[in-house]
């Protein structure tokens, strides 16, 4: 990965920030994005202190033009793009019968359309360099989670998009990785949208019990080096994907009960 140019959308927090450190410490040149400029600048400063070559670029993945500008910025700064990590994402927590449709749309705009836009503008360079397109999906892209319609739908859509892209790129030597973390310590649940589109503000799960973002990033880094196609992370995540494949109806009850246990769960 030395001297490879890696774009990481949403690199100012959680898994994206850990990916920037992992690739950066292995000699890659990094461009990270995010909407909040203060968080972005802080992340850039922290990475630079570790000796990593990194640029921050303020961009919202759900805006087509921002993605065009992001790809142009990477080429202007580093002269090429080798790897795009589609990491930026948000979640929501509400029953579908109660949620405002604008909340579901916002999640889709970021988690799904954001990936489409970023990939569209980076792909010509990635094809030229026989590089990688990586999507940070989720176990929720294999097994729908109650109370997370928008999130699960966005990750199912993402998995479909990546599967097709992987197949289209078969003869072009472009590597496409669908990375599915399980529960990982980050800010995503604190920033989760409620049924009215407000910020949840607190995580309903014990963030200390989860895989750390650093360990998650190491798995994704190794999968990129080995040009793996799909990775499913955490023992719980692997079990959920396996059981859902063979016993989907039985899994409805298991998943309902697991998610209903969360403090403040909308499931009744």
The catalytic residue positions are 151
145, 148, 142, 162: which is closest to 242 by C-alpha?
142
Q: How far is the CB of 254 from ligand NAP (least distance, A)?
A: 18
Q: Does 16 bind ligand NAP (CB under 6 A)?
A: yes
6, 7, 61, 232: which one contacts ligand NAP (CB under 6 A)?
A: 61
The DSSP code for 212 is: P
CB closer to ligand NAP out of 10 and 131: 10
Q: b/e per residue, 123-141, with b = 16+ CB within 10 A?
A: bebbeebebbbbbbbbbbb
Site string for ligand NAP, 129-168 (x = CB under 6 A): -------x-x------------------------------
Q: Does 115 bind ligand NAP (CB under 6 A)?
A: no
Candidate segments 166-174, 177-185, 220-228, 249-257, binder of ligand NAP by CB under 6 A: 177-185
Phi-psi region of 66 (alpha: psi -120 to 50; beta: other; left: phi over 0): alpha
67, 132, 184, 244: which one contacts ligand NAP (CB under 6 A)?
A: 184
What does the block give as tokens for 87? 């990491």
Residue 133 is inside which H or E element, if any?
Answer: strand 132-136
Compute the distance between CA of residue 107 and CA of residue 121 in angstroms, rounded to an integer.
21
CA distances from 139 to 144, 161, 168, 238 (A): 8, 16, 24, 8
Q: Check if the beta carbon of residue 20 is closer than 8 Å to that of residue 56.
A: no
Q: How far is the CB of 53 from ligand NAP (least distance, A)?
A: 19
Q: Does 12 bind ligand NAP (CB under 6 A)?
A: yes
Candidate segments 11-19, 72-80, 166-174, 248-256, binder of ligand NAP by CB under 6 A: 11-19
Q: Which residues bind ligand NAP (CB under 6 A)?
A: 9-10, 12-16, 33-36, 39, 59-62, 87-90, 110, 136, 138, 181, 183-184, 186-188, 191
């Amino acid at each position: 990965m030395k001297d490879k140019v890696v774009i990481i959308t949403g690199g100012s927090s959680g898994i994206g920030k850990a990916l920037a450190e992992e690739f950066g410490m292995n000699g890659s040149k990094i461009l990270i994005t995010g909407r909040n400029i203060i968080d972005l600048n802080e992340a850039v400063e922290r990475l630079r202190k570790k000796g990593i070559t990194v640029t921050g670029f303020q961009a919202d993945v759900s805006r087509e033009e921002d993605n065009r500008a992001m790809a142009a910025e990477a080429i202007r700064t580093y002269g090429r793009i080798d790897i795009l990590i589609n990491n930026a994402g948000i979640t929501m927590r509400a029953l579908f019968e109660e949620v405002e449709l604008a909340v579901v749309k916002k999640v889709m705009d970021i988690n799904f359309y954001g990936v489409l836009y970023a990939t569209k503008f980076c792909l010509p360079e990635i094809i030229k360099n026989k590089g990688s397109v990586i999507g940070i999906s989720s176990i929720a892209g294999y097994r729908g989670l109650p109370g997370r319609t928008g999130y699960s739908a966005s990750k199912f859509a993402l998995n479909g998009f990546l599967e097709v892209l992987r197949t289209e790129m078969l003869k072009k030597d472009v590597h496409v990785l669908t990375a599915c973390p399980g529960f990982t310590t980050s800010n995503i649940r604190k920033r989760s949208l409620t049924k009215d589109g407000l910020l949840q503000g607190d995580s309903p799960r014990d963030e200390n019990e989860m895989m750390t973002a650093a360990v998650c990033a190491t798995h994704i880094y190794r999968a990129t080096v080995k040009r793996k196609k799909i990775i499913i992370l955490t023992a719980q995540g692997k079990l959920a994907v396996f059981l859902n494949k063979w016993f989907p109806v039985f899994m409805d009850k298991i998943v309902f009960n697991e998610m209903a246990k969360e403090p403040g769960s909308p499931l009744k």
